Amino acid sequence: MRLILFCLLSLFILPIWAETPSLVLAQEYQQQNIIGWAMSEKLDGVRGYWDGKALYSRQGKQFTPPKDWVKDFPPFALDGELFSQRGEFEHISATVRSQNGDWHNIQLFVFDVPSADGDLWQRLQIAQEWKQTHPESNFQIIPQYIVKNQQQAQDFFQEVTKNGGEGVIFRNPRLPYQAGRNTGFLKWKPQFDDECTVIQHLAGKGKFQGKMGAVLCENKYGQFRIGTGFKDTDRQNPPPVGSTITYRYRGFTNKGKPKFASYLRPYQE
């Protein structure tokens, strides 16, 4: 009887998971020919997939927004980014992953309609038509612009990043919605590098058991962890405590720490 009661209670206290959604994923933009493609800002939010009935994360965890938040959503799938405004990633992430977060400033910014036929413009038109007849629905379409030349793309990228945006997305509008990483869906994000001093080695877990899992670093931005970018040889023989390393990062968190810091190499003068 106790086992039965425990199982019943588990239904209410454990997170709701579904199969991992088959979503389109971006490759890195490396100066490919993007003339005629769709261009949009890459929003710094949390991936959200509406399957026509419920809202899921990229990993398949069901989000729990208030019922009124999704009451005007369509019966067909939408793929997009849960977002409010630039610079609010930490707040957005904490809100959508909590059981009782305040969603009133958050919307699903849609960039595709996965189950629809036609090219990108035709698929987005379906979502736009639903939005027109259901103006209170908590989603909107991310503006898409046609790339006329490389300079236009460069100017757009500079404008977005200068104003605090995460980067730019390029889509081949002629392709259908294709799950997985493909050459018709590219992301362009700024990367910076800087130096910091290693002050501690942090033990690895899981596949890194018995090796260095991350380093704790310090520089003018304070203390922060770096756990990616290391080769197996680096983890077996990590940069010595007190040494200086070069790392890459993509902007800063709200707390002023380097964002997505990744090890690059030992500092070279």
SS in 3 state form for 10-75?
HHHHCCCECCCCCCEEEEECCCCCCCCCEEEEECCCEEEEECCCCEECCCCEECCCCHHHHCCCCC
| DSSP strand pairing (180-188 vs 24-28) | parallel
Q: Is residue 42 flagged as an active site residue?
A: yes
* pTM (whole model) above 0.95: no
Q: What is the pLDDT of residues 124-177, one digit of tens each?
A: 999 999 999 999 999 999 999 999 999 999 999 999 988 888 899 999 999 999
Q: What is the pLDDT of residues 71-99, one digit of tens each?
A: 999 999 999 999 999 888 889 999 999 88
pLDDT at 8 over 80: no
Report helix, strand or coil for 159: helix
Q: Which domains does the chain have, with CATH numbers?
A: 17-188 (3.30.470.30), 192-266 (2.40.50.140)
What gap in Å lies between CA 213 and CA 60, rounded to an integer?
Answer: 26
